[in-house]
C-alpha cells in the first residue's frame, strides 16, 4: 500500500469504527464493517443480534398503538396487508388529488425500469390536497410503520410511479430477492390502482424477517466475502439470496402479493423481498413510505427529523441536502410533469 493510502486509512479509521454502532451497512465503503477477519470473529452477526434484541424491546412499546391482528400477521409473515384502507369516497378524492395534477418529479433508471418519485411534504399539502395530507399523517399508517421499523420518528413519503418494459426486469436489481439491510426497517406501499399477478407485484418470502440460527449462519457466511461480491448491491450490504440458499434456510418460496386498488402493504425489509418480474409493460403508481433509523438506539423517540418545522418538510429537506452534496439522492430532477407522462431519462 502506498504511503498516501496508509495515511488516509489512519485518518479515516476512527470514522469507520464510529460507524459500527449505526445503520451503516456497506462492506466496500467501510473496511471495518467489511473486514473478513473481524466478521470471522463475529462482528457482523453481533451487529445483527444486538439490533434484533433492541428491536424486540422497542417494538413491545410501539405495539400499544397497533391492533393485535396486525401484530399477529407481522409476527407470522413479516408484512401486513390492509385492503380497502380508505373509505371509498376518500379514495376517489385521493386519486383525483394525485393523478390530475403535475408534480415536481425525480427519476431513476435501474436497467430498463424507470422509477419516478415525487417527494411529499405533508405540511404544504394540507391546503389543496387534504386527503393525501391526511393519509401521510394517519395514526394507523404511522403506528404500523413505526411498529414494523421498531423505531419512532417521521417516515419519508413520496408518490412513486414504476414504469417497466416487458421482460426488462432481468436487469432490474429490485427483481432479485434480497434483504435491504442487517436490521428491521419498514417500507409501505399504498396502491392507487389494482396490481395484478402480471403487473410486477411486490413479493416477499413469508417469515423471512425472523432471525433464526440458519439465517445467522448464512449472514456470517456472506459477511466473510461480501466485500468482493460481484453484485454491487450485495457488497453494499443488501444481501441477495439464491433459491438454493433460501431452501437451505428452510424458507418457503416468495409470495407474489397482487392487490386491489386502495390496499396498504407495510413490510419489514430485513426479510427477503423484491418485485415480481413482469411479462408485459407495466406502469404502477403508489404512495410509498419508508422508515429507517439507527437500529442500536435503545429508545423509540428523540428523532431529529421529527422536530417541528422539519417533519412536515422532509421531502424538501432531502432536495436541499442533495444540492449541498451532503446526502446524494440516486434520482435526477426532471421538472414538473404529470404521473402518466412518459419517462424523461
Pick the stretch among 175-183, 220-228, 243-251, 337-345 that binds Fe ion (CB under 5 A): 175-183
> Nearer to Fe ion by C-beta: 110 or 333?
110
Q: Could you tell me which stretch among 81-89, 177-185, 254-262, 314-322 binds Fe ion (CB under 5 A)?
A: 177-185
Q: What are phi and psi of 9, to 5 degrees?
A: -60, -40
Contacts with Fe ion by CB under 5 A: the residue count is: 1
For 106-131, the DSSP string reads EEEEETTEEEEEEEE-HHHHHHH-HH
* Pairwise CA distance, residues 305 & 176, whole Å: 31
**In whole angstroms, how close is the CB of 111 to Fe ion at the nearest point?**
15
Q: Which is nearer to Fe ion, 107 or 180 (CB)?
A: 180
For the bound state, the minimum distance from the C-beta of residue 254 to Fe ion, rounded and expressed in Å, comes to 13
Residue closer to Fe ion, measured from CB, 180 or 268: 180
**For the packed helices 43-62 and 139-149, what is the interaxial angle rounded to 10 degrees?**
150
For residue 178, the minimal CB distance to Fe ion (Å) is 6
Please, which residues have CB within 8 angstroms of residue 116's CB and are 6 or more apart in sequence?
Answer: 105, 106, 107, 160, 161, 162, 163, 334, 339, 343
C-beta of 307: minimal distance to Fe ion in Å?
28
Count of CA atoms in the C-beta half-sphere (13 A) of 23: 16
Nearer to Fe ion (CB atom), residue 161 or residue 177: 177
- Which of 59-67, 117-125, 131-139, 179-187 is the region at the interface with Fe ion (rule: CB under 5 A)? 179-187
> Residue 273 CB, nearest distance to Fe ion (Å)?
6
Which of residues 180 and 286 has its CB atom nearest to Fe ion in the complex? 180
Compare residues 115 and 262 and give the one whose CB is closer to Fe ion: 115
The three grid cell numbers given for residue 225, joined into one nine-digit string:
466475502
Q: Between vectors from CA 163 to CA 158 and to CA 166, what angle results, nearest 5°?
A: 155
Using Cβ positions, the residue closest to Fe ion within the complex turns out to be 180
Calpha distance 110→123 (Å, rounded): 31
Distance in Å, CB of 37 to Fe ion, minimum: 29
- At its nearest, how many Å lie between Fe ion and the CB of residue 269? 5
Rounded to the nearest whole angstrom, what is the least distance from the CB of residue 345 to Fe ion in the complex? 21
184-213 positions binding Fe ion, by CB under 5 A: none
Of the pair 275, 311, the CB lying nearest Fe ion is at 275
DSSP for residue 135: H
Q: What Rg value do the Cα atoms of the chain yield, rounded?
A: 20
Measured CA distances, 97 to 22, 88, 94, 105, 133 (Å): 38, 14, 5, 16, 10
| Nearer to Fe ion among residue 98 and residue 269 (C-beta) | 269
CA distance readout (Å), 175 to 200, 243, 343: 9, 13, 20
Please identify, using beta-carbon distances, which residue of 190 and 288 lies nearer to Fe ion.
288
- Pairwise CA distance, residues 72 & 171, whole Å: 36
Nearest-angstrom CA–CA distance, 124 and 31:
42
Q: Specify the stretch interacting with Fe ion by CB under 5 A; choose among 180-188, 200-208, 284-292, 294-302.
A: 180-188
For residue 233, the minimal CB distance to Fe ion (Å) is: 9
Which residue from 180, 199, 236, 286 is in contact with Fe ion, where contact means CB under 5 A? Answer: 180
Query: Do the beta carbons of residue 155 and residue 290 sit within 8 Å?
Result: yes
Which residues here bind Fe ion, judged by CB under 5 A? Answer: 180
Amino acid at each position: 500500500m502506498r504511503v498516501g493510502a496508509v495515511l488516509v486509512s489512519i485518518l479515516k479509521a476512527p470514522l469507520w469504527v464510529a460507524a459500527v454502532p449505526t445503520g451503516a451497512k456497506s462492506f466496500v465503503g467501510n473496511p471495518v464493517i467489511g473486514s473478513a477477519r473481524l466478521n470471522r470473529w463475529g462482528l457482523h452477526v453481533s451487529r445483527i443480534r444486538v439490533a434484533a434484541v433492541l428491536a424486540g424491546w422497542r417494538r413491545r412499546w410501539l405495539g400499544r398503538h397497533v391492533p393485535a391482528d396486525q401484530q399477529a400477521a407481522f409476527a407470522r409473515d413479516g408484512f401486513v396487508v390492509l385492503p380497502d384502507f380508505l373509505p371509498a369516497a376518500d379514495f376517489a378524492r385521493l386519486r383525483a388529488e394525485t393523478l390530475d395534477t403535475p408534480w415536481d418529479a425525480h427519476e431513476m433508471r435501474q436497467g430498463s425500469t424507470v422509477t419516478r418519485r415525487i417527494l411529499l411534504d405533508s405540511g404544504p399539502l394540507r391546503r389543496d390536497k387534504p386527503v393525501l395530507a391526511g393519509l401521510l399523517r394517519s395514526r394507523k399508517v404511522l403506528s404500523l410503520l413505526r411498529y414494523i421499523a421498531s423505531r419512532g420518528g417521521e417516515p419519508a413519503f413520496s408518490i412513486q410511479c414504476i414504469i417497466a418494459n416487458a421482460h426488462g426486469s432481468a436487469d432490474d436489481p429490485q427483481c432479485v430477492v434480497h434483504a435491504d439491510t442487517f436490521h428491521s426497517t419498514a417500507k409501505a406501499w399504498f396502491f392507487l390502482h389494482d396490481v395484478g399477478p402480471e403487473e410486477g407485484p411486490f413479493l416477499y418470502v413469508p417469515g423471512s424477517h425472523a432471525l433464526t440460527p440458519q439465517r445467522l449462519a448464512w449472514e456470517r457466511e456472506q459477511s466473510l466475502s461480501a466485500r468482493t461480491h460481484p453484485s454491487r448491491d450485495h457488497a453494499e450490504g443488501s444481501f441477495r439470496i439464491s433459491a438454493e440458499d433460501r431452501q437451505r434456510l428452510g424458507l418457503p418460496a416468495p409470495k407474489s402479493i397482487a392487490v386491489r386498488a386502495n390496499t396498504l402493504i407495510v413490510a419489514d425489509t430485513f426479510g427477503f423481498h423484491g418485485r415480481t418480474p413482469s411479462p408485459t409493460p407495466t406502469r404502477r403508481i403508489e404512495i410509498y413510505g419508508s422508515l429507517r433509523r439507527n437500529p442500536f438506539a435503545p429508545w423509540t423517540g428523540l428523532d431529529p427529523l421529527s422536530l417541528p418545522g422539519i417533519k412536515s418538510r422532509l421531502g424538501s429537506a432531502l432536495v436541499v441536502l442533495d444540492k449541498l452534496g451532503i446526502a446524494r439522492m440516486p434520482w435526477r430532477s426532471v421538472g414538473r410533469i404529470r404521473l402518466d407522462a412518459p419517462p424523461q431519462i
